[in-house]
Amino acid sequence: MSLLVVGSVAFDSVKTPFGEVDEVLGGSATYFSTAASYFTNVSIVAVVGTDFPDKHLLFLKSRRIDIEGIEKKEGRTFRWKGEYGYELNEARTLDTQLNVFQAFKPKLPEKYKDKKVVFLANIDPDLQREVLQQVKEPALVACDTMNFWIGGKKGPLLETLKLVDILLINDGEARELSGEPNLVKAANIILSYGPKTLIIKRGEYGALMFSGKKVFAAPAYPLESVFDPTGAGDCFAGGFMGYLANTMNFQEANIRKAIIFGSVMASYNVEAFSLDRIKSLDYSEIEDRYMEFKKLTHFDDLG
């Protein structure tokens, strides 16, 4: 089954202790769809400016991503600038320019309206809802967000959360959204906003899933070289949703497998700047790392 995503398609300028890049291809929908494209067909809804080069669109097409829903509008493409310190876990946003996203009124191509699996990647929560409302009968809706929207558009974000099945956010965002420092308490508060399942991404410490009273913990892959964490969360979501859309099984046991596929895609992404590592993976590399995760967390029963 194919997957629909709305999110940012961007130019990113990023500085980490290991290097610096200027105006490279980025954006939540870009990372998400590239990661998900290893599992299923993906269709993007987004807007870019007239400064957006065709080579980036051709790259997305080369991953068999449907870009009919990417509008090109007069003006500048979304831009994000961030930097990371040595611990690499949290980006410090230096600049966000919404540009063409500011006046974006998404109008879904007819063939997008029948999509069953929808991901509302990190973007204005009002836009997330505008897209979701045009999908006729979604079977699974998941969503991401960030401090920029939690701080600036909390009301609209809470409206979006009423409509989603799964929310994926990082630990700092979970604390900010709930106003609660303890993550378990924060999870319970957030689940009361609407989502049935909450996945909290914790960078190099892995991910936690909360669903009703159930909790599942996945580690992050212990990597020797991490160059750029930008897009790790979106790649996690891409692997996670791509696998769920591929299998169309939303039971807890399958959600656990999806979390590992998400962790695999995030771990590959951070090995290089921009999409350099995940743009041309071999599916066998994904399977190999999935099995590494299994070995990493296996232990025997008592006695």
Residue closer to ligand AMP (CB basis): 21 or 183: 21
Sheet holding 19-26, edge to edge: 19-26, 10-16, 78-83, 92-97
Length of the chain as a residue count: 303
Window 174 to 213, contacts with ligand AMP (CB under 6 A) = none
Residue closer to ligand AMP (CB basis): 13 or 197: 13
Burial class of 89 by CB neighbour count within 10 A (0 to 12, 13 to 18, 19+): middle
Window 74 to 103, contacts with ligand AMP (CB under 6 A) = 80, 96
Residue closer to ligand AMP (CB basis): 247 or 271: 271
Residue closer to ligand AMP (CB basis): 148 or 216: 148
Is 8 a binding residue for ligand AMP by CB under 6 A? The answer is yes
Is 134 a binding residue for ligand AMP by CB under 6 A? The answer is no
3, 4, 6, 12: residue in contact with ligand AMP (rule CB under 6 A) = 12
State whether residue 239 is helix, strand or coil.
helix
As measured in angstroms, the least distance from the Cβ of 276 to ligand AMP is: 13
Residue closer to ligand AMP (CB basis): 146 or 298: 146
CA distance 101 to 14: 20
List the beta bridge partners of residue 212. none
Is 216 a binding residue for ligand AMP by CB under 6 A? The answer is no
Is 59 a binding residue for ligand AMP by CB under 6 A? The answer is no
Burial class of 44 by CB neighbour count within 10 A (0 to 12, 13 to 18, 19+): buried
Sign of CA dihedral 9, 241, 292, 285: negative
CA distance 65 to 56: 12
Residue closer to ligand AMP (CB basis): 209 or 232: 232
As measured in angstroms, the least distance from the Cβ of 79 to ligand AMP is: 8
Amino acid at 164: V
Amino acid at 48: V
Window 139 to 158, contacts with ligand AMP (CB under 6 A) = 146, 148
Applying CB under 6 A, the residues found at the interface with ligand AMP are 8, 10, 12, 26-28, 80, 96, 122-123, 146, 148, 230-234
